[in-house]
Structure formats: C-alpha cells, structure tokens
Amino acid sequence: MVLSESAEVMEQVAKSRFLRKSPFLEFCAAEGLPVITGYGVEDLRTVKLGHWERLGGPAAYCHLEGSQGFVGSLVAEIPPGKSFKPMRHLYEELILILEGRGATQFWCEKTNQTIVLEWQAGSLFSPPLNVKHQHFNGSATEPVRFVAPSNAPIIFNAFASADFIFNTPYEFTDRFAGQSDYFSSEVKEGEFEDTSINFISDVYAMPLTKYPRRGVDYSRLGITGSGNKAMVGHIMAIGSGTYRKPHYHGAGAQVIVLGGKGYTLMWPKDEPSGASKDNKFVKVDWRKGSLLVPPEGWYHSHFTTSAEPGLHLALRRGQRGVGKNYLPTVPEQEGGTVMDYEDEPREVRAIYQAELAKEGIPCRMPPVHYRK
C-alpha cells in the first residue's frame, strides 16, 4: 500500500508527536534542571549537579529508564551554612539524607503553626503534601546531600502546570495541621505497607524480618509515611553470597543502595530464558550510594558480592488499583510475580558464581535443580 503525499506528511508529524518529551521533562529543560538518564547511577553522593533556581541550590533529577514517567529522584546539595528556598508542591516525596546534618522547617499557614525536624545522614522523612517547608544545613563546614524520590513526573504529566503544582495554597490539614508530634518515630501498623512511620532517624538501625520465600538470606521492612499516601517503600537486606529471587513489578521503584556491594541483573519478562546468550541482560553494578530503577514488567534480581549484606532502600508509588496489579511477594507458581530459583535462566547462577570468585566471597546459595 502506497501512502499519499499528505498521509506521508501526517505519519512524520505523528512520529514527532509520539517522540516529544513528556511535560515533566519539558519542565526540567525549561528550568535548567539537569536530568540523569540510563539504568543506574554509580554514586548519588558524587554525581554532578547544576544550579536549580527554584530550589536555590545545586540539584539534578534522576529520570532513569525504569522511571517511565511515574517516579524519579531529585538529588540536591545544601552548601555549608546555607539553606534552600521555601517550597511547597503537590507531589509526594520521601527524603533520604545521604551526607551531612541539618533541619527542615514546616509551616501550616491555616493554623499558624510551625515545627522543625532535625535530621542526620541516614534519616528518612516525607514532607506533608503541599506543606510549605525549607531545608537548612546544620554545619558551617560540610555540605548536605540528599536524594528525594517522588511522584513528581506523574503529577507534572497530569497537570502540565508548574504554577499549579508549586503555588496552589490549599492545605491538607487532615494530614498536617502543625501538630508538634507529626514527625514521630513510633512504628505503627501500616495501611499501604507493613509499617507506618513519619520519621526514621537512622535507616541502618531499623529491624528487618526474614522472608526466606523471597531469597535464601533476604530480610525486609515495608514502610510508608503516616500522612502521605501515594509513595511507599521498603528497606531490604540480601546476605553475603546470596541473591534475591528474580521478580517483576510496576514501573518507578527507586532502589537506593545503603551498604554492601554487588550488582543487579534485569531482563524483559517476554524474552526466552536463553536470551542472555545474546546479551539481553542489563547488568547494573552497585555499591553504597548507587541508584537503579528496574523497568516495568522486567525480571530483576539483586546479587550481593561483598562480605557485608547488600542493604537497599526501595521507594515507589503506592497507589492501589493504578495500572496492572502485581503480586511481587507471591511465587509465579501461585499466580504471583516472583520466580523460583528453579525456573530462572541458567546463566544467572553461573554469572553470580564467577562474580563471587573475583571477590573471593563464598557462595552460600544451595544447589539448584532446574525445572527446564
């Protein structure tokens, strides 16, 4: 079939339309906010930043392949003795302090209440939705660097208006009305995850629970803020010489490495198990400070190659009933999205054993008897 000249032109126009940047990425370009792409970031603590005037300091946005327009991560640095500009926004974020110490001030203008939260390296908290807040560096000699996974991409892609997102005065006082105990470290039962907690002083000190069905030496704690509802996450540990079972889920899970060393293998679910022979695996090496984001529906598995466990913080969107319903804690044999070791591509174990040998780390994985 031969297209008419006008149809040919329209096909080219349609192609350009589909390849156009999303509203969120257009916003980043207009603001001069650097965007980091790829499958992973080697070290959030040293990645190059650029000045973002709206924030009032150095920043960059990690919009990796697996973010897919849902969730991404802002990396920012507060210079010694400085502060950022006050800000409010209609997207939810969870802030992990990578380095330094300081405080954040929060205002509830409706009740004329102000509170201050002090934090340090390893602290995790979530500013209440659309509450005006300001970050301060508590040191005159050392910078503060933090990473803030958020659902900003999907909010910008829905509204495409920076003025609306940053300047809407509405306050969600049912979540935050200036109460002095809002940022409590008390662990409660969670609605969207295992626990509900508004402030974790030190993510490294949180107790984890063993889940052997998800990995030989795998531990986890699900977390969500007590006030916000659209962003959740979990802390997970993968023991030395072991790896997490391959699994897949929705887009946008921001996996931040807190400790240990290793790598993650990712591959499309629809590829045959032998696809790795044609280099179909995406391998992302990680260490403390790394960030990776598996694409939606891709199998991925985290492999620890250090003597210490691989400790990760995974932050993601938590909306129920949005997109495909995944069961990332249930084996595929039972209708879930976790692959048993017996069903994984045979290359997975061989690659791991070779990587452990390079590091001189004993393999603690039990023998596997493949089903096919």
* DSSP letter assigned to residue 138: -
Alpha-carbon distance 105 to 130, whole Å?
A: 13
Which pair of tokens denotes residue 25?
A: 């990425």
* Nearest one of 148, 32, 142 to 82, comparing CA atoms: 142
Q: Residue 262 in contact with residue 306, Cβ under 8 Å? A: yes
| C-alpha 23 chain-centroid distance | 20
Alpha-carbon distance 230 to 90, whole Å?
A: 11
Alpha-carbon distance 324 to 343, whole Å?
A: 23
Alpha-carbon distance 282 to 268, whole Å?
A: 9
DSSP result, 34-59: -EE-SSEES-TTT---EEETTTTEEE
Alpha-carbon distance 162 to 167, whole Å?
A: 8
Q: Residue 280 in contact with residue 299, Cβ under 8 Å? A: no
List of domains in the chain: 25-167 (2.60.120.10), 204-359 (2.60.120.10)
* Nearest one of 249, 278, 284 to 355, comparing CA atoms: 284
pLDDT tens over the chain, length 372 residues: 455 667 676 666 666 666 678 999 999 999 999 999 999 999 999 999 999 999 999 999 999 999 999 999 999 999 999 999 999 999 999 999 999 999 999 999 999 999 999 999 999 999 999 999 999 999 999 999 999 999 999 999 999 999 999 999 999 999 999 999 999 999 888 777 888 899 999 999 999 999 999 999 999 999 988 788 889 999 999 999 999 999 999 999 999 999 999 999 999 987 644 444 456 899 999 999 999 999 999 999 999 999 999 999 999 987 666 777 888 788 998 999 999 999 999 999 999 999 999 999 999 999 999 997
Alpha-carbon distance 193 to 41, whole Å?
A: 27
Alpha-carbon distance 237 to 260, whole Å?
A: 9
Summarize pLDDT for 302-316 with one digit per residue, the tens. 999 999 999 999 999
Which pair of tokens denotes residue 50?
A: 């650029």
Alpha-carbon distance 270 to 124, whole Å?
A: 36
